[in-house]
Structures are given as C-alpha cells and as structure tokens.
Amino acid sequence: MLAAVVAIIAGPLRRVGTASAPEPSERAALEVAKGVKYREIRDAELDFRTGKLSETDYRQVDRALRSEAIELLRRLDAIAKKEGPR
C-alpha cells in the first residue's frame, strides 16, 4: 500500500522531468518553413529540367511556391521589425 501511495505522489514529479521541449517560437517555425519552401522550389526546378514537369505545369507550381515563399519572408520581416535590432 505504501508503494502505491508513493507512486501516486511521485507520478507528477516524474513527468516534470520528462516534459517535452517547449513549442518553437513563431520565428523559428517560419525559418524552418522557409527552408522547406526553398527546397520545394529547387525540387520543382529539377523536375522540370529532368522532364518530369511540363513547362506549363512548372510555371504554375513555381508561381505558387514562390508566392508562398514571399509570404513567409513578409511574415519573418514583420516579426523582425517587432523584435527590433538584435
């Protein structure tokens, strides 16, 4: 019975030590998304050059990916302006 009481009391204490890492900041998440988007742009370019995408499809995909990348850059810029100089 004593072991059960100790386990119940110690349970929350054990979980504190194994808590997951905090969520990344919005800036860090956007930086990761930017890197992924750049990689997608390069992959689409490679697909076009190797003939996996027609020119029409490539232009459509490229336009969409670059538009998304620009939005990520704008959001990063807005965060940088809010944070001020480092």
Asked if 79 contacts 27 with a C-beta cutoff of 8 angstroms, the reply is yes
Q: Is residue 67 part of a domain?
A: yes
**65-80 pLDDT per residue, tens:** 999 999 999 999 999 8
Please state, in angstroms and as integers, the Cα–Cα distance from residue 11 to each residue in 2, 31, 47, 73, following that order: 14, 37, 53, 44
Q: Is residue 38 part of a domain?
A: yes
- What pLDDT sits at residue 83? 80
**29-46 pLDDT per residue, tens:** 999 999 999 999 999 999
Percent of the chain with pLDDT over 70: 70
Q: How far apart are the first and last CA of the chain?
A: 56
Q: Is residue 35 part of a domain?
A: yes
- What pLDDT sits at residue 84? 76
Task: Kindly tell me if the per-residue pLDDT of 12 is higher than 50.
Answer: yes
Backbone Cα Rg of the chain: 23
- What pLDDT sits at residue 21? 44
Q: Is this prediction's pTM over 0.85?
A: no
- How far is Cα 32 from Cα 86, in angstroms, rounded to an integer? 20
Q: Is residue 2 part of a domain?
A: no
- What pLDDT sits at residue 22? 45
Q: Is residue 69 part of a domain?
A: yes
Q: Is residue 6 part of a domain?
A: no
Domain, as residue range, for 70: 21-83
What total number of domains does the chain contain? 1
